[in-house]
Amino acid sequence: MLIETLVVGPIQANCFVLGHEETREALVIDPGDEAQRILSTLRKNNLTLKTIVNTHGHFDHVGGNKALQEATGAPILIHSGDAPLLAHLADSAAVWGMRVEDSPAPDRLLEDGDEIGFGGVTLRVIHTPGHSPGGIALFTPGHLFVGDTLFAGSIGRTDFPGGDYGTLIQSVRKRLFVLGDDVQVYPGHGPATTLGQERQFNPFFQ
């Protein structure tokens, strides 16, 4: 599996372009901004976008949904708990002095345990509320895309509407750490890490 990380937008969110090296099918996780850069990355790697997945509904992770869908026709997937946020991105961004287009309505609502496939790769949806009600992680053996639930040495904010500190801590402890220390973690902001590194050294779990 090809994995390309693009840091997009003024809040420097991580967008992940995943590609299957044989079928050249692709999936994009969290197109927060700079849709043209994402499209250029797809073209550079000769990839056809099959699916857009949002780990949660905050504007810095989904602000490119509309442009990317208009260019590719790929369906938008998000957990049902965060789906309502997509219609209010412009208002949310304006609070921070930024401009974002509202997202089209999602084409599929995700729930815990759902599977998303592209090429020969399958991602399992793990519901990880705490940063937002409908936050999810996406797991395929050896790789875990966690949105803003977990960062290298930190965790996502829980002071936004729908956030809850205790819920987030339990999401990580009970739903993510059990996947194994060697799993590579790709957060929504900042550098990659491993579950073992965070279980041992992240100050929020000591």
Choosing among 2.40.240.20, 3.10.450.750, 3.60.15.10, 3.40.630.10, the CATH entry for 2-205 is 3.60.15.10
The pLDDT, as a whole number, for residue 44 is 97
Express each pLDDT in 121-174 by its tens digit: 999 999 999 999 999 999 999 999 999 999 999 999 999 999 999 999 999 999
Per-residue confidence in pLDDT tens, the chain, 206 aa: 999 999 999 999 999 999 999 999 999 999 999 999 999 999 999 999 999 999 999 999 999 999 999 999 999 999 999 999 999 999 999 999 999 999 999 999 999 999 999 999 999 999 999 999 999 999 999 999 999 999 999 999 999 999 999 999 999 999 999 999 999 999 999 999 999 999 999 999 99
pLDDT at 79: 98
The pLDDT assigned to 94 comes to: 96
Three-state SS sequence of the chain: CEEEEEEECCCCEEEEEEECCCCCEEEEECCCCCHHHHHHHHHHCCCEEEEEECCCCCHHHHCCHHHHHHHHCCCEEEECCCHHHHHHHHHHHHHCCCCCCCCCCCCEEECCCCEEEECCEEEEEEECCCCCCCCEEEEECCEEEEECCEECCEECCCCCCCCCHHHHHHHHHHHHHHHCCCCEEEECCCCCEEHHHHHHHCHHHC
Q: What is the pLDDT of residue 195?
A: 98
